[in-house]
Amino acid sequence: MLLCDIGNTTLHFCEGERTWRVAAEGFDPAAVEGRVYYISVNAALDALLAGHENWVDLRDLIDWSGYYETMGIDRVVACEAVEDAVIVDAGSAVTVDVVRGGRFEGGFIYPGIRAMAAAYAGISPRLAYSFNFELDLDKMPKNSQDAVSYGYLRPLCGEVMRHGGPIVITGGDAERFAPLFPSATVDRMLLFKGMKKILENRC
């Protein structure tokens, strides 16, 4: 069973235990033979895929009653993967979603590393630091780089922890954020797990 998670810049494929990435730019859907079950947040590729019958959009197989219409399909599929968790998906945005008893309880969106660094740099060149993920978040900062790193990480960290565990981290920056949440599990396969579960429930 071939699965594909389509982002704005890359297609992430999964078949069995194997996963691989392909650039979205210039991607030709006709190059893939056989059935592909996919989710996509990439509007340009959506239009292209519509003409290929072997590409099956999982969007239509989801029971949307527990979610909201404009919620990113990647967030929905991650939620479908768990019964009880706080999901941190760290990519261009950091989305945090709470699932309790298999039910989506709500979630929020925080800027990802690149967007937040640009925000600080845009305020003043004096704030153009890279974030220090090793920072001791129990100490109030007394220098500029720490003041910026703490400002990005500590509020997010506190808010995530407030919702209790278990915390599951996924997304391209999962490994960078993981040390902030000592009890968290990193699960790079979370979206594919959600996709498989949706298929098992519906097919």
Active site residues per annotation: 74
Q: In which order are the strands placed within the sheet that holds 18-23?
A: 18-23, 10-15, 2-6, 36-40, 55-57
- H/E stretch holding 155: helix 144-162
Which residues share a beta bridge with 37? 3, 56
> Which of these ranges, 24-32, 51-59, 146-154, 175-183, lies near its own copies under the rule CB under 8 A?
146-154
Interface with its own copies includes 98 (CB under 8 A)? yes
For 85, the 3-state DSSP assignment is strand
User: Nearest approach, Cβ of 200 to its own copies (angstroms)?
Assistant: 26
Interface with its own copies includes 166 (CB under 8 A)? no
Given a contact cutoff of 8 angstroms between Cβ atoms, the answer to whether 90 and 112 are in contact is: yes
Interface with its own copies includes 93 (CB under 8 A)? yes
Phi, psi of 179 (to 5 degrees): -60, -20
Name the token pair of 60.
Answer: 């239509």
User: Nearest approach, Cβ of 125 to its own copies (angstroms)?
Assistant: 10
Interface with its own copies includes 84 (CB under 8 A)? no
Write each residue from 106 to 145 as x if it is in contact with its own copies (CB under 8 A), else as -, in one continuous string: xxxxxxx--xx-xxx-xxx-xx-----------xxxxxx-
Task: With CA atoms as reference, report the closest residue to 21 among 188, 198, 203, 194.
Answer: 188
Interface with its own copies includes 37 (CB under 8 A)? no
User: Nearest approach, Cβ of 41 to its own copies (angstroms)?
Assistant: 8
In the DSSP assignment, the letter for residue 72 is -
Residues at the site binding its own copies, with contacts judged by CB under 8 A: 8, 68, 70-71, 92-93, 95-96, 98, 104-112, 115-116, 118-120, 122-124, 126-127, 139-144, 147-148, 150-152, 154-156, 158-159, 162-163
